[in-house]
Structure 1
Amino acid sequence: MVGSVAPAWALTAAERAERAEAAGKPVPLDAPIIGTPGGASLPGGSRTYQVTLKQLGALYPLQLRGIEGSNGVPFSIRADEIVTRAKLKLNYAYSPALVPELSHINVIVNEEVAGTIPVPKETAGTNLSREIDIPPRLITEFSRLNLQLIGHYTMQCEDPAHSSLWANISNNSVLEFTVSPLSLENDLALLPLPFFDRRDVRPLSLPFVFSGTPTTGSLEAAGALSSWFGALAGYRGAAFSVSLGQIPQTGSAVVLLTGTERLPGLNAPAVAGPTVSIVPNPNDARGKLLLVQGRDLNELKIAANALSTGSQALSGQTATITQFADLKPRRPYDAPNWLPTDGPVKFGDLAQAQTLNVSGYSPDLIRISMRLPPDLFGWRDKGIPIDLRYRYTPRPATDKSTLNININQQFVAALPLFAAERGGGNQAQRLMAKLMPDGTAASQRDIRIPLFKLPSQSQLQFHYYYDMAKQGDCKDVILDNVKGAIEPDSTIDISGYKHFIAMPDLAAFSNSGFPFTRLADLSETAVVLPDAPVASDYGVYLNLLGHMGESTGYPATGVTVVPAQQVDSVADKDLLVLSSGAKQPLLTQWSSSLPFSLDGNTKRFELSDLVYRAVSWWDSSRADRMVQRKQLSVTSNSTDTVIAGFESPLASGRSVVLVSSNQAAGLGDAVVALRDADMVKQIQGSFAVIRGKQVNSLVADSNYYVGSLGPVLYAQWFLSQRPLLLLVASIVSAVLVAAVLYLTLRARARRRLK
């Protein structure tokens, strides 16, 4: 019928979006988002990219509560770009109880209102989507986006904390930026710009370029640089590709050259020593090349080590290293990113002072992130001691307010927040004597946290929860003047723990790079390359070292790279062995030590019998039957990538981690798995099989141990693991003691009779 209007349920998502836009109403969540894809190039060199609130740190949807609830995330813009257009693509929902005339949601950027979203009754309680343009003038290098709910549910007196006052902002909401490039000078003083920008929350992607097949010395220099960039990238992650004899057509890259090596199109100057330069990319006017040069391999490594450890001292377009003292040997477990093991560590050294303070009745968490060595031995331990010192605005009356302590979202303890006056006069006077000049009460508590609750990557989380007493209609007035803080001189101490761990343990490798990162510079680590490696093999090597640099926060200036034929020369080191296709002869030489074998489409895996032993460990007659269940062989044409750990066949107590694939193209799957937070959790045991996004981990029967406990503690632990031996030892000890007593008493009796 002409002029009829189709009902809303009959419209497509695009049509509903168009109708909502025309009516000035919020767009339903399932409406398509129209715009330039993230990272797409635009005329004039501009580009558009998108970042979700989850990528900016909102692990969960933002909850807005109360009459003036607020929550948000920080964001930043690269130093070599300027924002020409910005918008927020918001996915949200709000309470049906909100009064539209009094309620709305504010979009605030750097304390200025960028837009206001109405909350009409007809769309309440549904998932909605809306685009809000953000004026570029509000955006600086480091900015903050806040969403603020101004909520009211009645025209009369109301409860400021009523449960009907809520709005939910999805962390899948998107910030979209259109940016234009800015030209940076070719100045080493800007490093690590433009190759890495800490303002950019996206993963780092940086190519490495060699003039031809790189030598082991060139790879060692490149490994120091990739681990440095991996440490800088941190939580973002870093991906490194390798190009041989060709400069990338776009973007920036790291180029390593020795002697008279040259690259087509690059006019690299002759050098008189270890040299670091920044030059334009001849293929891209906006790209830069970080040129690392030396007349020989030794000078190339000096240039790379000087750059990765002392970039702050460099300036100008070109710098020649005239003197570079040997780096001091690293001590075990002294990685900058790891919690020190030589004494108590102050919270102020782990987090910035301003992040340890919160205010308001619904404050954010106080977060203190830390990395622990993965081999801490906590047997029969009472827990890690924490000397917690905190301050808070005293409660007007004793209530249920608490300081809640969590670790990685797991509850640990709740400490009560007391009133300024409670109990008798003397007690109240003692409490008031503790009041700080700013009016907050100071408290100190010694708490202990079990070691098993603190994995290698942990976050202490403190949340001030305030109980708001109900006084009745028209009497509830909130004075939002409460504050809370964790004192920077609070400490955590792991110095009393020994280092001892059962190996192989791929969880320690995937999360912390252990055992290679035991020394932050990887000076006791050797990487064994496959025969006739290709560019992708070199890329896997650089990515693995970048992963370890992210763990330690220090460049791998001491790593050694060798071919398989020279593996005996590094027998005293922990070995990281790479194998792609059938190009690693060590797989054949060490076949008896490997828990698997990959030969084309034929795969063999050794399965564990630990579950059977746990059930019938006392039945020694089953030992000869266990071997028959330990092997599984299959034939398939799939690409299998395996990460395996085992004791080095060359030296007792040394470890080998093997990264292998039956096809050359599959080796990169291991790198992808190590960068994926969900997949990393599944890499454990003695070896893990990776097929795309699927990870299957298995555990071997045999273990070896790394570390030291001391003779007394080791004897106690050793006997506790072997109850039968402990029983026999107890009986033998009792017999020996009885024999000694018997002989002593007999001798004494003979003396008395004489």
Structure 2
Amino acid sequence: MPAPCPGARLLPSMMAIALLATTPAALDATAATRTTNVNSDVLETAPAPVPAGGRTYRVTLKQLGALFPLQLRGVQGNSGVAFSIRNDEVVTAARLRLNYAYSPALINELSHIRVLLNEQVAATIPVPNEQGGMSLQREINIPPRLITEFNRLNLELIGHYTLDCEDPAHSSLWANVGNDSELELTVTPVAQANDLALLPEPFFDRRDVRPLKLPIVFANVPNATQLEAAGALSSWFGSLAGFRRADFPASVGQIPAKGNAIVLALGNERPGGLELPAPKGPTVAVMANPNDATGKLLVITGRDAKEIKTAAAAVTVGSPALSGALATIIELKALKPRKPYDAPNWLAGDRPVKFGELVEEQTLNVAGYSPDLIRINFHMPPDLFAWREKGIPVELKYRYTARPTRDKSTLNINVNQQFLRSLPLLAVNHEQPNALNRLAAKVLPENDLLPAEDAFRIPLFKLPAQTQLQFHYYYDVIKQGACKDVLLDNVRGTVEPDSTVDISGFSHFLAMPDLAAFSNSGFPFTRLADLSETAVIMPDKPAEGDYSTFLSLMGLMGRVTGYPATSVTVAQAQQADALRDKDLLVIGSSANQPLLTQWADALPFSLNGGSKRFQISDFAYRIFDWWDPDQRDRAKPRSSEVSFNSDSTDAVITGFESPLQSGRSVVVLASNQPLGLQQAVNALLDPDLVTGIQGSTAVIRGKQIDSLVAEQSYYVGHLNPLIYMQWFLSRNPLTLIVLGAASALLIALLLYLSLRARARARLKPKN
């Protein structure tokens, strides 16, 4: 008589568990959740009351880092996201709105989805068969007591599809959680001391993944120096905000009714009735917002505009040293000038850069048969010249749990979700060890991860300015047969922090104008991280919207470089001639920016109220959006022009060579209405919209972006003479033919003269 299957012996236990799951106690464990099919009316639950002074906000799982829906696979599939709570807030209520689906093959008595917060069960979601395969929604109340400063929200599928022996990696064991699911948090503010030692909190808190919105208030109409000070502050906060994006709405003389803000006041100016002592020098202070008991103001003041700029610089580069509610800056030594391409956020161009310099070491380790990706984010200068180069070299070092037998396990390498290469994961050699294996066993600890190395190159056309290198350990699941398949949690993988990526062998040379380089990297202005070779030309009579555009652009530059724009120059149109040795960023409209009239011949557009003119090239009719490493297919000269009248709001971003000095660049942000400038800024800050800003002229209308012209008329950067000659001749074959013919004629002439000289010498009579 054959032996009973092991799964059969477990049947009574499984049935007992199933019965327990239907008891009132088990039903109470899921009472905090409600489910509905998305095709029916959504069940409404009473929202949690908001405490006095509190607020409620929502973040999606995508905002928390889940770029794709969470895939739960196997008998115990697990995935999740991390979230944090601001230091000046405490959570009083939390709710999770899940959009999910699960396999109809799951046994509902034995299967469920667990919601875990910081490894504690917050709720259990049943998986009834009648709803299997449907798109469902569920609201789950999370106990606030489980929430701490730094949190991990996990969703875990406990899945079974048969009462008999089952395959733990069976394809029917799945659940899917949409990354549009929302976490709703109700928070109450916590009183914070007025202390500069807390900077950048509470104005920016790294725990907060939401976009940063920080108003900047000028006590009176600011002059150029005050704007430079405000630009340094906004770029500093922009560098801190990073991926979150940062907006800096500006106002004159009006403190916001709620929340935090930055205030710049000159001398005895007191916007909103603020009570401040008369400044005795560059002064920085933190105080309560008089309109909001829970808000704070960062006040920058001085006896003149230069002292305000000094105080702002002290905050951006010396905030860790400040303390107290008020500090007067006695001395701030001049900062060391920045060097080209030395932005902290960019890969160093003079040496190989280790992965450990780019990410925290613990993120380079993964575990399990379905591990998350190991991600290496880095930012490169957009003007790297890789003509006839094989790509950017990467020296990869990694370790992994050796496979028990030879199988299809691999380490897959992707760049921005594009497959690059695959490296096999080797098996342990169970044969009698030879002398080399015995020596290796002495050097390596027993059962240690197997070390390996690989060198490869990444083609530059696969690497935009903002790049993510992704490593995925794929482990092949070996089938042992019925009732024998068991997945042991004993596999590990790592990418070593001393792996390197190296761009030191590349020159800097780029065809311009190129709005993609500007929108993604702030180039050419960010070539120097402190923007010391950049001048921003403001309108003659700027409005608050113009100030906001300038501050948000400085925040964008700070996000790209990771360094405050402490040396940017702010000027007006009449000063442009004196700034010919700088790259110019022009803001305004035809009504208040004289340069748009003075440089009308260089501009491919005209905006004058409802009257509009645009020049167009064949670039506007391209079928595919793709990047050519040599850019010769992107150059499309202007071929037509259209003029019309309409009441639409149009914003234009265009680039061209400076009419004041060759080799210098001008980028113009212009609109026929104030709202248009904000639309342009929103497009630059939106990761989904910014990809549409290309060529040399782009028109923005709300969320619609059209790139009309891709005219490349000049170059920035330098090549060594030999490479430049080869590159120039490759782009000008007619010149190569002429030079070849001229060289042949010259060689023929030299040979002719040489042979004639030899002939005359031979025929000359000897004495």
The 2-side partners of 1:602 and 1:608 are apart by: 21
The 1-side partners of 2:493 and 2:444 are apart by: 13
Structure 1 residue 119, shift from structure 2 partner? 1.1
Find the residue that maps to 1:106 and give its secondary structure. Answer: strand
Please list the CA deviations of residues 654-710 of structure 1 after superposition, one character each: whole Å capped at 9, or x if unmatched.
000000001233211110111111110000100100111100002244410000001
Find the residue that maps to 1:678 and give its secondary structure. Answer: coil
The 2-side partners of 1:612 and 1:200 are apart by: 41
In the alignment, structure 1 residue 204 sits paired with structure 2 residue 217: no
Any unmatched runs of 5+ in structure 1?
1-20, 614-625
Partner of 1:386: 394
Find the residue that maps to 1:278 and give its secondary structure. Answer: strand
Q: TM-score, normalised by structure 1?
A: 0.92
In the alignment, structure 1 residue 542 sits paired with structure 2 residue 551: yes
Same amino acid, percent of matched pairs: 63
Partner of 1:619: none
Please list the CA deviations of residues 91-130 of structure 1 after superposition, one character each: whole Å capped at 9, or x if unmatched.
1111111111221111111111111111111211111111
- Does the aligned pair in 1 maintain the 2:515–2:693 contact within 8 Å? yes
The 1-side partners of 2:468 and 2:716 are apart by: 26
The 2-side partners of 1:75 and 1:530 are apart by: 42
Structure 1 residue 745, shift from structure 2 partner? 3.1
Please list the CA deviations of residues 482-521 of structure 1 after superposition, one character each: whole Å capped at 9, or x if unmatched.
0000000000000000000000000000001100000000
- Does the aligned pair in 1 maintain the 2:382–2:521 contact within 8 Å? yes
- Does the aligned pair in 2 maintain the 1:403–1:414 contact within 8 Å? yes
In the alignment, structure 1 residue 635 sits paired with structure 2 residue 645: yes
Partner of 1:572: 581
The RMSD of aligned alpha carbons is 2.1
Structure 1 residue 747, shift from structure 2 partner? 2.4
- Does the aligned pair in 1 maintain the 2:209–2:244 contact within 8 Å? yes
Partner of 1:352: 360
- Does the aligned pair in 2 maintain the 1:434–1:442 contact within 8 Å? no
In the alignment, structure 1 residue 441 sits paired with structure 2 residue 457: no
- Does the aligned pair in 2 maintain the 1:36–1:48 contact within 8 Å? no
The 2-side partners of 1:418 and 1:209 are apart by: 62
Structure 1 residue 629, shift from structure 2 partner? 4.1
- Does the aligned pair in 1 maintain the 2:34–2:43 contact within 8 Å? no
- Does the aligned pair in 2 maintain the 1:688–1:695 contact within 8 Å? yes
1:124-163 correspondence runs (5 A): 124-163=132-171
Please list the CA deviations of residues 449-508 of structure 1 after superposition, one character each: whole Å capped at 9, or x if unmatched.
101111000000000000111111111122220000000000000000000000000000
Which residue of 315, 334, 338 maps to 2:342?
334
The 1-side partners of 2:367 and 2:172 are apart by: 23
In the alignment, structure 1 residue 738 sits paired with structure 2 residue 755: no
The 2-side partners of 1:229 and 1:663 are apart by: 28
Any unmatched runs of 5+ in structure 2?
1-29, 623-635
Structure 1 residue 738, shift from structure 2 partner? 2.1
The 2-side partners of 1:585 and 1:650 are apart by: 15
Which residue of 490, 493, 501 maps to 1:492?
501
Find the residue that maps to 2:363 and give its secondary structure. Answer: helix
- Does the aligned pair in 1 maintain the 2:653–2:698 contact within 8 Å? yes
In the alignment, structure 1 residue 685 sits paired with structure 2 residue 724: no
Please list the CA deviations of residues 187-219 of structure 1 after superposition, one character each: whole Å capped at 9, or x if unmatched.
001111111111111101111111111101100
Residue type of the alignment partner of 2:289 = N
* CA distance 1:198–1:385, shift in 2 (3 Å): same
Structure 1 residue 566, shift from structure 2 partner? 1.1
* CA distance 1:538–1:682, shift in 2 (3 Å): same
Find the residue that maps to 1:550 and give its secondary structure. Answer: helix
Partner of 1:11: none
Partner of 1:620: none
Q: TM-score, normalised by structure 2?
A: 0.91
- Does the aligned pair in 2 maintain the 1:67–1:150 contact within 8 Å? yes
1:124-523 correspondence runs (5 A): 124-421=132-429, 426=434, 435=444, 439-523=448-532
Partner of 1:44: 52
Residue type of the alignment partner of 1:459 = Q
Residue type of the alignment partner of 1:543 = S
Please list the CA deviations of residues 20-70 of structure 1 after superposition, one character each: whole Å capped at 9, or x if unmatched.
x99986322354364689xx9934112111111111011111000011110
Structure 1 residue 627, shift from structure 2 partner? 9.6
Please list the CA deviations of residues 201-249 of structure 1 after superposition, one character each: whole Å capped at 9, or x if unmatched.
1101111111111101100000000001111111001111111111111
The 2-side partners of 1:277 and 1:67 are apart by: 57
Find the residue that maps to 2:108 and give its secondary structure. Answer: coil
- Does the aligned pair in 2 maintain the 1:420–1:431 contact within 8 Å? no
* CA distance 1:66–1:711, shift in 2 (3 Å): same
The 2-side partners of 1:35 and 1:529 are apart by: 51
The 1-side partners of 2:195 and 2:573 are apart by: 40
- Does the aligned pair in 2 maintain the 1:216–1:561 contact within 8 Å? yes
Please list the CA deviations of residues 611-641 of structure 1 after superposition, one character each: whole Å capped at 9, or x if unmatched.
999xxxxxxxxxxxx9994322222221110
In the alignment, structure 1 residue 659 sits paired with structure 2 residue 669: yes
Structure 1 residue 423, shift from structure 2 partner? 8.4
The 1-side partners of 2:618 and 2:750 are apart by: 44
* CA distance 1:243–1:463, shift in 2 (3 Å): same
Which residue of 558, 570, 593 maps to 1:561?
570
Residue type of the alignment partner of 1:511 = N
Find the residue that maps to 2:688 and give its secondary structure. Answer: helix
How many pairs does the alignment contain? 720
